[in-house]
């Protein structure tokens, strides 16, 4: 979903300040704890051999499914602002460092 698509459905790309505010919410801490718990549960199930099947193919499929879930939990657990922008395929506008009087076409 592109930033323009997000804005069409009423979801503007959050500012970095809004992101930091969200991280400070107690609800965010609870959400992150659930994600951490689910990821650990998958690791514990793997260690207990719960992703094995009677066939090699079945075992491979169970393991691939678990790995995919674990990777999704890892993304949610480790998500930072820069990664969020990357996932949204959003590039922040560059802020010009030169004074307005030194814009294109001005004499040096």
pLDDT tens for the 108 residues of the chain, in order: 555 555 555 677 889 999 999 999 999 999 999 999 999 999 999 999 999 999 999 999 999 999 999 999 999 999 999 988 887 776 655 544 444 445 455 454
Radius of gyration of the chain (CA): 22
Domain boundary assignment for the chain: 26-88
Residues in Cβ contact with 81 at an 8 Å cutoff, skipping those fewer than 6 apart:
16, 19, 20
Report the half-sphere exposure of 68 (CA within 13 A, side-chain side). 6
Q: Is the pTM of this model over 0.75?
A: no
- With residues binned 3-state (H G I as helix, E B as strand, rest as coil), the percentages for the chain, rounded to 5, are 65, 0, 35
């Amino acid at each position: 979903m592109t930033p323009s698509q997000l804005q069409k459905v009423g979801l503007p790309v959050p500012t970095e300040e809004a992101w930091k505010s969200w991280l400070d919410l107690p609800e965010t801490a609870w959400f992150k704890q659930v994600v951490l718990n689910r990821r650990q549960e998958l690791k514990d199930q793997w260690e207990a051999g719960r992703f094995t099947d009677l066939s090699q193919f079945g075992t491979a499929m169970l393991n691939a499914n678990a790995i995919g879930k674990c990777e999704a939990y890892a993304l949610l657990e480790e998500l930072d602002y820069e990664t969020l922008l990357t996932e949204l395929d959003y590039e922040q506008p560059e802020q010009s460092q030169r004074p307005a009087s030194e814009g294109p076409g001005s004499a040096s």
